Amino acid sequence: MTHTQKRILMSRVAMTFSTISAVIGIGFLLWILGVLVSNGIDALNTDIFTLEGTPPGYEKGGLKHALIGQLYLVGIAALIGVPLGILAGTFLSEYGQRSKLAEIIRDISDIMMSAPSIVIGAFVYAIVVAPMGHFSGWAGSIALTIIMLPIILRTTDDMLSLVPSTLREAAFALGAPKYKVILQVVYRGAKAGILTGILLGIARVAGETAPLLFTSFNDNFLNTDMMEPMASLTVTMYNYATSPYEDWQKLGWAAAFILSMFILSLNIIGKLFLMKKKGR
């Protein structure tokens, strides 16, 4: 067997194993989604969105308190994390570039992206919950912000660095100040990528449970006071799905279905924006 034939054989073997692995992975994914969809749709009804949680044994119960609480927690985290992430990413790409400080921030951001969310929850518990003496919605949003921030920061940094430097030079040649070059030239060239990073960051924190157990805890009733413990869809789903009561288990499946479809939709939208940018 010649060297070329050996290379062809090894390539075919590697391709075969890769294909088999991909099929197995996709198979498990479809299996999980199939179980989730079949049980989730069966548990869905209008009461899910209009009624609050009830004690076990009551026929009519819903997830209104958890849905609104989730919107508060994730929404406030996004209001804080998105501007900070974009501004920090802009500093790294446009001002820090290859400086020592910028490299340190990038390294810390990469470490934070791989840090377990439960560690971040414990950290926020130590610096926010423990001094306050009680759980709160603010603590939950702070934990989600910390998780979201490095994702948006690194995405913004990477997307801005892909904008050709010739566009910046042309704008500077016309007499535009640096801030206008960034706002009207650089951001426009990278807007699809930045939006993708924002959607992926929100999708990441929307499915977090562990940090919320340490921070916002949970509430089985509707509460919009961020200074008090607040319900979230993820923690409510965990509590209901692990309970011995059938009615709560159905609500848990419904919560899992709603949350999964929301996260899946955000990821698909983010990928579409990214594909659109690459197509251009």
pLDDT at 8: 84
Our measurement of the distance from residue 232's CA atom to the centroid of its chain's CA atoms, rounded to an integer in Å, reads 15
pLDDT tens figures, 14-49: 999 999 999 999 999 999 999 999 999 888 888 899
Local confidence band at 277 (pLDDT 50, 70, 90 cut-offs):
low
CATH topology of domain 64-279: MetI-like fold (1.10.3720)
DSSP 203-270: HHHHT--HHHHHTT---SS----TTS----HHHHHHHHHTSS-HHHHHHHHHHHHHHHHHHHHHHHHH
Q: Percent of the chain beyond pLDDT 90?
A: 61
pLDDT-derived band at 64 (thresholds 50, 70, 90) equals very high
Q: Is the pLDDT of residue 3 over 80?
A: no
Boundaries of every domain in the chain: 3-35, 64-279
Q: Which of 211, 209, 201, 208 is nearest to 267 (CA)?
A: 201
Q: What angle do CA 87, 113, 106 make, to 5 degrees?
A: 50
pLDDT for position 140: 96
Collapsing DSSP states into helix, strand and coil, what is residue 61? coil
Report pLDDT digits (tens) over 160-202.
999 998 989 899 988 889 999 999 999 998 988 899 889 989 9
Tell me how far apart the alpha carbons of residues 250 and 236 are, in angstroms, rounded to a whole number.
12
pLDDT at site 114: 87
Q: What is the dihedral of CA 255, 258, 264, 270, to 10 degrees?
A: -120
Residue 221 has pLDDT above 90, yes or no: no
- Three-state DSSP at 22 gives helix
For position 192, what pLDDT does the model report? 85
Q: What is the pLDDT of residues 118-153, one digit of tens each?
A: 999 999 999 999 999 999 999 999 999 999 999 999
Query: Is pTM beyond 0.85 here?
Result: yes
* Residue 167 three-state SS: helix
CB-based contact 73:138 (threshold 8 Å): no
Cβ–Cβ under 8 Å, residues 193 and 271: no
